[in-house]
Structure 1
Amino acid sequence: MGGAERNARKKRQQAQGTGQNTPRRNTPGQNTAVAAARKSADRKRIVVGVGVVVVLAIAVVGGLLIYNNQKNATEGKDIQVANPETTQQSTASADYPVRRDGGIVVVGSDEAKVTLDVYEDFLCPACRQFEETFGPDIEEHVADGTVQVRYHMLPMLNDRSDPPGYSMDSANAGLCAADAGRFPAFHKTLFSDQQPEEGSRGWDRQQLAKLGIDLGITDDDFTTCVTSGKYEDLVQKNFDEVKAAPYLQQEFPDGAKGFGTPTIASGEKVVDTAKADWLDQLVKSAD
């Protein structure tokens, strides 16, 4: 190898030792810049994380406020009389009798062709739907003397209000209203669109007593009857008898068998209310 070649080779080796393929070290200035960039990124992540937590906290608090407002929707309010322009007048002038028979409210003539036993709970949403759909038709037949209704107001969902007890309190109040001759209007109002939701606060005894007064009940015994829970034992006794009646046991969609509300019966036979004209057909078949 000649001297020129050896010099060229030496230069190439020196170039490789200090060239671009050799790992580069960061200068002190570069280290500071990298650290600053990392800190900035960390701060951004912290800010974003805190923002997410704040948004979630606001959502949770907002949800709780909405839930509590819905849950306590009945607190501090009066129960508004359903159809106030007609309810008191129609109740006062109704030709059909209303009486309490133990823990049952009997509405209509004893000479009626058909007697219906209606099993309901004032907290039951399906009962409200039944009343909205068929209540006017039932009332019409009661008024013309063809149907008598025996209302069993039951504490079926007594543990489903918060605090528990609304089903019993309202059932007791219904019996008190029957004593005062105002059950139809009382019943209609508690099944209006003001019905408390399951899991929420129901109407308390004072509110139920105030409703009776707003419906025209002036006897102080009514308020005492409602606030003292006078007929609770009768309500419970009737409920126990209803649950034990074999003909009222039905099969539910999940295959279970038992009693539920609403249930409509006539002559110890459960009535199928799936067809809109079930009551007309029942009256017709009794001719």
Structure 2
Amino acid sequence: MSEKNREGKRTARERLAVEREKQKAADKRRRALIVGATVAAVLGLAAVIGVVAANAGKDDSEATGPVVAPSGAQGKDGLAIAVGKDSAKSTLTVWEDFRCPACKAFEQAYRPVIHELTEAGQLKVEYHLVRLIDGNMGGAGSGASANAAACAQDAGKFAAYHDVLFDNQPAEADDAYADSDRLIELAGKVDGLDTPAFRTCVEDGTHDGWVEKSNEAFQKGGYSGTPTVLLGDKNIYQDQTMTPAKLKQMVQEAAKG
């Protein structure tokens, strides 16, 4: 073979090698584009899933339903259930949780004096119901019992049912008040409360949204815990010198003045 022919074949091989390298490079770029498009699609799908999940979370947080205040609710945003006469010179604001042991202790110590003063028209009590223990211990008993108490307010039986719930309070870790049957059973201790309307209200959670709104107000208020008991603007529960006798004296003096 002549030198000229050998040179021609060598040049052809070199051109072929160059074309092969170009093809490899093109294939590599194409694969990169495919991978990039796939990643983008996956990321896009993840973003959509994230939005759906976020929206699902929002729906869960709003699962308590509409805010339906109990009959006669008073105070800011209608979040207080009042006991006593509006004309009373003193107002006691009480934030309570029916699962809270400290709330039960307060009720046992101060209830006789509070009843005496409200019946005498000297004290008005505004009860705000919260579900603090549900958040701390888990469960739903705080919210369910608060809803049931609001249902009792609809029937004009709040004060009596309020006392029954604290008198029969389960152990803090026992979520017995999450059971509608138990709440309805306790209504039997209050004359005229266990009616079809009350049962429906309890079972349907009619006032769950209202309880949630009350609980949010408690959190925004910056209170340290339950019970929080205010006489006017003074937190008497934090006053180590406060006693039922002292509270009675303060209220009676205000009534005279």
TM over 0.5: yes
* C-alpha contact (below 8 Å) 2:164/2:189 kept by paired residues: no
Secondary structure in 1 aligned to 2:156? coil
Q: Provide the secondary structure at the position in 2 that maps to 1:185.
A: helix
**1:284–1:144 CA distance, 2 compared to 1 (3 A):** closer
Question: Which consecutive unaligned segments of at least 5 residues does structure 2 have?
Answer: 1-70
List 4+ stretches of structure 1 deviating above 3 A: 98-103, 159-162
Larger % of helix: which? 2
- The yes-or-no answer on 1:208 pairing with 2:175 is no
Higher RCO structure, 1 or 2 (CA under 8 Å, sep 6+): 2
Q: Secondary structure at the match of 1:157?
A: helix
Q: Distance in 1 between matches of 2:72 and 2:187?
A: 16
Q: 1:227 — aligned with what?
A: 203
Shift of 1:125: 0.6
Aligned to 2:174, the other structure's residue is in SS state coil
1:56-97 CA distance string (max 9 Å, x none):
xxxxxxxxxxxxxxxxxxxxxxxxxxxxxxxxxxxxxxxxxx
Q: Note if 1:266 corresponds to 2:231.
A: yes
Matched, 1:100 2:100: no
Per-residue deviation at 1:116?
A: 0.6
Aligned equivalents of 1:179 and 1:210: distance in 2? 18
- Structure 1 residues without counterparts, runs of 5 or longer: 1-97, 250-257
Q: Which has the larger radius of gyration?
A: 1
Q: Secondary structure at the match of 1:135?
A: helix
Give the length in aligned residue pairs: 177
Deviations 1:191-245 (A, max 9, x none): 11x3111212323112212322442225422111111111111111112112212
Please tell me whether residue 198 in structure 1 is matched to residue 172 in structure 2.
yes
Q: TM (normalized to structure 1)?
A: 0.57
* Separation (CA, whole Å) in 2 of partners of 1:267 and 1:138: 15
What's the offset of the Cα at 1:161? 5.5
Pair 1:281-2:249 in alignment: yes
Tell me which amino acid in the other structure corresponds to 1:178. Q
C-alpha RMSD of the superposition: 2.0
Equivalent residue for 1:183, pick from 158, 162, 168: 158
Taking only the aligned residue pairs, the percentage that are identical comes to: 37
Q: Deviations over 1:161-191 (max 9, x none)?
A: 66x0000000110111011111111111111
Change (3 A) 1:236 1:126: same
Q: How high is the TM-score relative to the length of structure 2?
A: 0.63
Match of 1:31 in 2: none
Q: Distance in 2 between matches of 1:213 and 1:278?
A: 35
Q: Give the AA of the match of 1:122.
A: F
